[in-house]
């Protein structure tokens, strides 16, 4: 075996080095994108270069060792081991004295190419994959030796159900309870324990008396995610995705969740001071449906449409169709933003979506029957009264029927761009800002807006407006330019300025710099 000059050797194997550097550099770039750190690229590149150099040195050293071994006198060589014989068979390289016979005619800067056949070990692996493919086909699709994905899922679900039953049985033996049979109880000891848990974990968002701050009011009969004891237990246990309501099962035991759920049921109807307005749908004990539009109308049985709506639409339009500020419009009035209010228009909007908005095209996720069902259900909302209806948007849709409501002028007929319209600003503030700054501006998650100290602006009208439009990175203050139009931002800015110098009930300590 010929030992190459180290520099020629490095140049000959340079493509391996470049390949490894590119692979590891790509991994480093990905890590940089995820971690957003400038030093990551340098570290990964340095490690890649070092690894390649070590590899080249190791290969070159191996060539030297092989050369020295072959240069030993014939009589001094030890008898070949079984391993070396196996390697000789597995590689089946051409002897050095026969290399001239398989040398190809190209010459790349002194580098020549041998026309070697595939090594036997590579062929063996290829044959093994063919054999395994046959075994896989027979085992999965003909004999049932191995379960398919659906069968694996069913097996896993059966095992999970067995584990669940075992856990419930063990819980019952330990004096626990079965969640499926959970019922409200006004036991004094349980209510007291739930009150303590509520005080430690829930008052930050729901207030000391449950009247709501950042989280909804828990003392009225309106519920966003259901008002039964089982619904409350589930929400506390599992949380609500994309909200501040976290999954409490990681911090509270099932018994503690049961206690705090019973306490939440216990405080219903207490009417604390400064309670938030109702949110969600009116819940009546024993009612099969809490949605205002779920009654059977001339469209027939709307239960299928309700299921589709509750699962896919309620997040933006609320369960009772009243709409969510900055997301979906009110579906209960006669004003339509992206359709003409006819059945065909509503169906088209659901199927095709609205470009540039949160209203996506649902025809890829829902079949024609489901779109028809949810269209009928949405039309059944007309004339109902949601708990917290959003202001009308779009144009008035009038049918051939005489309707006194349709003859009324829309609530937003007057331009909302009037800077002095503090009522409009107050309404926008209450719907979007009070959760963090309180209704009187005293501040809770967000800063106090009534003093002369400003954290993220200079206190001028332009500074406040800029903060509302652009938000504050790294805080809960989002950019409202996507949810509010220019006139609405103008109105809420003026309302915030009107809060200066007022005296809130529980003002937060000053933050930021004094603005004079």
Give the tens place of pLDDT for each residue, 491-508: 888 888 888 888 888 888
Task: Give helix then strand counts, H and E, for the chain.
Answer: 18, 8
Its pTM stands at 0.32
55-68 confidence digits (pLDDT tens): 888 887 777 777 76
Q: Pick 296 or 462 by higher pLDDT.
A: 462
| pLDDT confidence of residue 35 | 43
Spatial contact of 254 and 346, defined as CB atoms under 8 Å apart: no
| Alpha-carbon gap, residue 351 to 363, rounded angstroms | 5
pLDDT band at 123 (very low <50, low <70, confident <90, very high): very high
Of 217, 231, 377, 357, the C-alpha closest to 294 is 377
Of the listed ranges 4-8, 43-47, 202-206, 307-311, the least confidently predicted one is 4-8
pLDDT at 128 over 90: yes
| pLDDT confidence of residue 326 | 62
Phi/psi at 435 (5° precision): -60, -35
Angle between helices 82-91 and 120-141 (to 10 degrees): 80
Spatial contact of 266 and 206, defined as CB atoms under 8 Å apart: no
| Alpha-carbon gap, residue 367 to 348, rounded angstroms | 13
Query: E strands, 72-147, where?
Result: 103-108, 111-114
The DSSP bridge partners found for residue 112 are 107
Mark out the alpha helices in 438-485 (DSSP H runs): 461-470
| pLDDT confidence of residue 289 | 36
The Cα-based distances of 359 to 349, 350, 362, 413 in angstroms read 8, 8, 9, 24
| Alpha-carbon gap, residue 418 to 421, rounded angstroms | 6
| Alpha-carbon gap, residue 471 to 479, rounded angstroms | 4
Q: Which residues are CB-contacts of 134 (< 8 A; sequence separation ≥ 6)?
A: none
Say which DSSP state 150 is in. Answer: H
Q: Pick 186 or 289 by higher pLDDT.
A: 186
pLDDT at 299 over 50: no
373-418 confidence digits (pLDDT tens): 888 888 888 778 888 888 888 777 765 433 333 334 343 333 333 4
Burial class (CB in 10 A: 0-12, 13-18, 19+), 318: buried
188-210 confidence digits (pLDDT tens): 899 999 999 999 999 888 988 89
pLDDT band at 266 (very low <50, low <70, confident <90, very high): very high
- The strand pair at 103-108 and 111-114 is best described as antiparallel
Say which DSSP state 363 is in. Answer: T
Per-residue tokens: 267: 């405080």
The Cα diameter of the chain in Å comes to 115
Q: Pick 100 or 291 by higher pLDDT.
A: 100
């Amino acid at each position: 075996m010929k030992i190459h000059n180290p520099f020629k050797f490095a140049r000959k194997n340079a493509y391996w080095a470049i390949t490894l550097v590119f692979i590891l550099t790509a991994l480093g770039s990905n890590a940089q994108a995820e971690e957003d750190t400038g030093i990551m690229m340098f570290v990964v590149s340095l490690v890649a270069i070092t690894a390649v150099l070590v590899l080249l040195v190791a290969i070159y050293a191996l060539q030297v060792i092989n050369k020295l071994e072959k240069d030993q006198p014939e009589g001094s060589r030890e008898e070949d081991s079984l391993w070396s014989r196996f390697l000789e068979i597995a590689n089946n390289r051409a002897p050095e004295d026969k290399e001239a016979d398989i040398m190809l005619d190209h010459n790349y800067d002194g580098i020549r190419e041998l026309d070697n056949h595939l090594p036997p070990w590579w062929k063996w692996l290829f044959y093994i994959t063919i054999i395994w493919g046959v075994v896989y086909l027979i085992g999965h699709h003909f004999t049932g030796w191995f379960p398919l994905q659906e069968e694996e899922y069913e097996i896993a679900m059966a095992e999970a159900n067995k584990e669940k039953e075992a856990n419930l049985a063990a819980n019952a033996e330990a004096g626990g309870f079965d969640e499926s049979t959970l019922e409200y109880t006004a036991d004094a000891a349980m209510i007291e324990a739930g009150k303590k848990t509520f005080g430690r974990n829930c008052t930050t968002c729901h207030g000391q008396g449950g009247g709501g701050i950042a989280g909804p009011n828990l003392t009225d009969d309106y519920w966003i995610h259901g008002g039964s004891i089982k619904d409350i237990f589930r929400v506390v246990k599992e949380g609500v995705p994309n909200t501040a309501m976290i999954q409490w099962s990681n911090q509270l035991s099932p018994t503690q969740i049961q206690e705090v759920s019973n306490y939440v049921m216990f405080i219903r109807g207490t009417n604390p001071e400064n309670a938030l307005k109702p949110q969600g749908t009116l819940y009546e004990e024993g009612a099969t449906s809490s949605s205002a539009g779920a009654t059977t109308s001339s469209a027939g049985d709307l239960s299928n449409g309700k299921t589709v709506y509750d699962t896919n639409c309620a997040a933006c339009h609320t369960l009772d169709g009243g709409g969510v500020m900055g997301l979906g419009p009110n579906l209960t009035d006669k004003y339509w933003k992206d359709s003409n209010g006819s059945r065909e228009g509503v169906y088209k909007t659901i199927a095709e979506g609205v470009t540039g908005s949160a209203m996506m095209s649902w025809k890829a996720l829902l079949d024609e029957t489901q779109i028809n069902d949810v269209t009928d259900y949405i039309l059944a909302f007309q004339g109902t009264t949601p708990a917290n209806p959003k202001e009308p948007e779009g144009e008035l849709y009038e049918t051939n029927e005489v309707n006194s409501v349709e003859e009324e002028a829309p609530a937003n007929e007057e331009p909302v761009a009037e800077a002095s319209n503090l009522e409009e600003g107050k309404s926008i503030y209450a719907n979007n800002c009070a959760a963090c700054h309180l209704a009187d501006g005293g501040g809770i998650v967000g800063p106090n807006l009534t003093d002369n100290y400003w954290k993220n602006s200079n206190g001028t009208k332009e500074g406040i407006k800029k903060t509302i439009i652009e938000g504050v990175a790294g805080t809960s203050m989002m950019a409202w330019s996507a949810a509010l139009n220019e006139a609405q931002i103008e109105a809420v800015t003026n309302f915030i300025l009107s809060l200066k110098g007022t005296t809130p009930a529980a003002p937060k300590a000053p933050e930021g710099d004094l603005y004079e």
